[in-house]
């Protein structure tokens, strides 16, 4: 079993990194799903075609990490037909995630696609690197979060500008939870039962999903729904 890598909470120096660890806690924990953000295309069964990045190469590395804070599900995704995953870095807890080593331009283009913007423009991450957080807009994934560094390289993710208790939670769909569970399982860092219990306990899923139901999803496409 792979060990999770520890993030150094010291904020990085400098404002224009060549590489960053794009840290995914939602469907992009799954490498196949991430490949559509990088190379473009439409995933099987999806309603959206992704334009991809200027640089379509896969990550130089992908490692399991844990972010400080909480994972919760809110709003409604037309792609997944259910709640989306969000990260509240100020909440107590730990978020299981996967850090992908990409270029700063790739991170900008991935973020643009999550923000429903056209990729092709480099993000200014200076504020996020300096203070740990930067609100680029009011949209659901338009807030950058930098929890520190890994191997001296900045760790960056994005989430909503609101917090865990500022919005109504929404139950995630079968397809979405299956992708999240598969991505976390793919890291080799956490056993299946632990992943199932983790996801079932997240606000939005809790009360709608049980660990047993999430574990059934991980067993194959015919897994049980809640």
- Per the rule left: phi > 0, alpha: psi between -120 and 50, beta: everything else, 140 is alpha
- pLDDT range class, residue 224, cuts 50, 70, 90: very low
The fold for domain 19-170 equals Hypothetical upf0131 protein ytfp (3.10.490)
Query: Where does residue 21 fall: left (phi above 0), alpha (psi -120 to 50 degrees), or beta otherwise?
Result: beta
**Confidence bin at 12 (pLDDT 50/70/90):** very high
Q: Strands 133-135 and 82-88: what pairing?
A: unpaired
pLDDT class of 225 with cuts at 50, 70, 90: very low
The secondary structure of 106-125 as a DSSP string is HHHHHHHHHTT--S-S----
pLDDT digits (tens, 9 = 90+) for 179-222: 999 999 999 999 999 999 999 999 999 999 999 999 999 886 54
Instruction: Annotate 64-73 with b (16+ C-beta within 10 A) or e (fewer).
Output: bbbbbbbbbb
pTM value?
0.94
CB 161 within 8 A of CB 143: yes
Residue 223 has pLDDT above 50, yes or no: no
What pLDDT score does 112 carry?
95
Exposed/middle/buried for residue 146 (C-beta within 10 Å: 0-12, 13-18, 19+): buried
Condensed to tens digits (0 to 9), the pLDDT of residues 109-138 reads 999 999 889 999 999 999 999 999 999 988
Query: Cα–Cα distances in Å, from 100 out to 59, 82, 92, 207?
Result: 6, 25, 24, 32
Kindly report the backbone phi and psi dihedral angles of residue 102, in degrees, each rounded to the nearest multiple of 5, phi listed first: -130, 170
User: 3-state DSSP helix/strand/coil percent for the chain, to nearest 5?
Assistant: 25, 30, 45
Pairing status of strand 94-103 against strand 82-88: unpaired
């Amino acid at each position: 079993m792979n060990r999770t890598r520890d993030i150094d909470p010291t904020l990085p120096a400098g404002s224009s990194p060549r590489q960053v660890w794009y840290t995914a806690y939602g469907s992009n924990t799954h490498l196949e799903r991430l490949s559509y953000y990088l190379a473009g295309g439409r995933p099987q069964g999806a309603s959206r075609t992704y334009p991809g990045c200027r640089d379509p190469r896969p990550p130089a590395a992908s490692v399991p990490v844990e972010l400080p804070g909480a994972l919760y599900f809110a709003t409604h995704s037309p792609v997944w037909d259910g709640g989306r995953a969000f990260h509240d870095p100020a909440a107590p807890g730990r978020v299981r995630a996967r850090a992908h080593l990409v270029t700063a331009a790739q991170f900008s283009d991935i973020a643009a696609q999550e923000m429903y913007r056209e990729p092709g423009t480099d993000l200014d991450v200076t504020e996020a690197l300096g203070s740990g957080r930067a609100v680029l807009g009011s949209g659901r994934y338009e807030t950058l979060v930098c929890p520190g560094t890994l191997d001296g390289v900045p760790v960056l993710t994005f989430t909503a500008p609101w917090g865990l208790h500022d919005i109504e939670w929404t139950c995630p769909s079968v397809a979405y939870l299956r992708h999240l569970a598969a991505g976390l399982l793919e890291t080799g860092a956490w056993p299946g039962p632990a992943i199932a219990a983790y996801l079932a306990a997240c606000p939005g899923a809790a009360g709608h999903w049980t660990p047993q139901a999430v574990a059934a999803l991980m067993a194959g496409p015919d897994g049980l729904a809640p």
